[in-house]
Structure 1
Amino acid sequence: MVKDLKTKNRLNMLGLVETKKHVVTRFNVARLWGCNSVSWEYVAFDGASGVLLKNNFNCAFFLVYGAHVREEKLVVWEELSYVAGLCQVLCCFMGDFNEIVHIEERKGAGSLTVAAEEFKSWIQDMHLVDLPLNDRKYTWFRGCSCIWIDRVMVSLEWVEEFPKTRLRGRPRGLSDHCPLIVEDTKMRDGPRPFRSLDSWFTHEGFLRMVKEEWKGLGEINFTDKLKALTAPLGRWHKVNFGNMDTKILQFDEEIKKLDDKVSSGVYDGTVEGRRKALVTCCKGWYV
């Protein structure tokens, strides 16, 4: 979340990389976002890395899916430099860069590859600040492999404009990657938005309950009705789905504990078997 300090506007963005989907439709976007009144872009994977640029409030956001081959990586860095030079505004680069900057970012690495050194030089030449991730050591896990390849980098001017910007990691759930959240710590205030869960709509009694509660609220304005609906929705959720959030949170935490063990060098068949079992159980609750 980013706020323009002059206009007091807020910008919410969600970037998804490596979704395994051949086509993304407005229906897919609406389900992710919660409504269809949102601008969106889709860059297809065609054998090379895709770069997505959105410019708003004098800021440029680059959603990056880095290449795997050194020669292709050099092309991506060059393209990003070129487009950023055209924008001449505050820049934020985020995504899966498929490259590390420091040896300790890849478990078991003894030295940096030539591609890693070139990536490090590109960051320095672009005068970018690599936002630190303090709540986890790696962002990608597969078997005993652990790497920090997902990152967010911003221009120096960005840090001057938004000095409270920070990076947080979230539980990876069923994915190999940990989601990253960029936020301004000053954005904590304000009213809580009205939220609903997709799972509610799978319950045969949900819509009937909402209609009855809505009618019982009488002739008050729409916003007040939503506020008043929060309490009965909470009670209904507790009765029908009360343990769902807790179960998912418990599975996420257990998976993270295993990731921490692997990060510390503890890996065997028992750890991997436990992780697969947790992912299977967690998947059921996510669905």
Structure 2
Amino acid sequence: MELLIGPDVVLDYFYANAYDLKPVGGTGLVFSWNELLFSESKILTYKRYILVEGKLIHEGIDVSFLLVHAPSCSQERFDLWRDVMNLKKSISMPLMMFGDFQEVLEPEEIIGNEVTSQGMKDFQHCIAEMNLVELPLLDG
């Protein structure tokens, strides 16, 4: 699909509704990219994520992007992390994972919380197992 944002920006996008991902709530996931910068070659959806593989056009580099919307239930998040770790094993190119993880990596990220939960440990294990690095958010 194609969406015109302005005279110089054309976005391709992929939408997966909540029924396609997980029949809870009334939301879905939308993944968009600038087709002048990124050319997609594969899109995969499963429960709570969209994986888009393709090429950064100007750099000529194959990359994959994983958009995640984790459930609020810790057991369901554990299952999602397991699925994502298994998915990563089949991806040979660099991967960037982003989205709403419904979890933090460190207790200090929650004001007034100094307790490490099992869900936090599960998320830390997933990040470590996939050799991912957290990129800090910049002000703004």
Q: TM-score range by the shorter chain?
A: 0.5 to 0.7
**Rounded Cα–Cα distance in structure 2 between residues aligned with 1:68 and 1:94:** 16
Q: Pick from 26, 30, 52: which aligns with 2:3?
A: 30
Q: Pick from 42, 47, 50: which aligns with 2:24?
A: 47
**Rounded Cα–Cα distance in structure 2 between residues aligned with 1:100 and 1:169:** 19
Q: Pick from 39, 63, 66: which aligns with 1:62?
A: 66
Q: Is the 8 A contact 1:52 1:63 kept in 2?
A: yes
Match of 2:112 in 1: 108
Q: How far 1:61 sits from its partner (Å)?
A: 0.3
Match of 1:180 in 2: none
**Rounded Cα–Cα distance in structure 2 between residues aligned with 1:169 and 1:96:** 18
Match of 1:90 in 2: 94
TM (normalized to structure 1)? 0.35
Q: How far 1:81 sits from its partner (Å)?
A: 1.5
**Rounded Cα–Cα distance in structure 2 between residues aligned with 1:38 and 1:122:** 31
Q: How far 1:37 sits from its partner (Å)?
A: 4.5
1:236-251 paired onto structure 2 within 5 Å: none
User: Unaligned stretches of 5+ in structure 2?
Assistant: 26-46, 56-61
* Cα distance change on mapping 1:169 and 1:82 into 2, 3 Å: farther
Higher relative contact order (CA 8 A, sep 6+): 2
1:171-250 paired onto structure 2 within 5 Å: none
Deviation readout 1:187-225 (Å, 9 max, x if unpaired): xxxxxxxxxxxxxxxxxxxxxxxxxxxxxxxxxxxxxxx
**Rounded Cα–Cα distance in structure 1 between residues aligned with 2:85 and 2:139:** 27
**Rounded Cα–Cα distance in structure 1 between residues aligned with 2:52 and 2:135:** 20
Deviating runs (4+, > 4 A) in structure 1? Answer: none
User: Unaligned stretches of 5+ in structure 1?
Assistant: 1-25, 134-167, 171-287
Q: How far 1:127 sits from its partner (Å)?
A: 1.3
Q: Which one-letter code corresponds to 2:49 in the other structure?
A: V
Q: How far 1:169 sits from its partner (Å)?
A: 4.3
Q: Which one-letter code corresponds to 2:24 in the other structure?
A: G
For the residue of structure 2 that corresponds to 1:64, the secondary structure is strand
For the residue of structure 1 that corresponds to 2:24, the secondary structure is coil
Match of 2:121 in 1: 117
Q: Is the 8 A contact 1:43 1:50 kept in 2?
A: no
Number of equivalences = 108
RMSD: 2.3
**Rounded Cα–Cα distance in structure 2 between residues aligned with 1:92 and 1:47:** 26
For the residue of structure 2 that corresponds to 1:42, the secondary structure is strand
**Rounded Cα–Cα distance in structure 1 between residues aligned with 2:24 and 2:90:** 25
Q: How far 1:131 sits from its partner (Å)?
A: 1.1
Match of 2:29 in 1: none
Q: Which one-letter code corresponds to 2:6 in the other structure?
A: G
TM (normalized to structure 2)? 0.67
**Rounded Cα–Cα distance in structure 2 between residues aligned with 1:96 and 1:104:** 18
For the residue of structure 2 that corresponds to 1:101, the secondary structure is coil
Say which structure is richer in strand: 2
Q: Which one-letter code corresponds to 2:83 in the other structure?
A: E
1:73-88 paired onto structure 2 within 5 Å: 73-88=77-92
Deviation readout 1:71-97 (Å, 9 max, x if unpaired): 110121122122222221100001111
Say which structure is richer in helix: 1
* Cα distance change on mapping 1:169 and 1:76 into 2, 3 Å: farther
1:95-174 paired onto structure 2 within 5 Å: 95-133=99-137, 168-170=138-140
Q: How far 1:30 sits from its partner (Å)?
A: 2.8
- Percent identity at matched positions? 21
Q: Is the 8 A contact 1:65 1:95 kept in 2?
A: yes
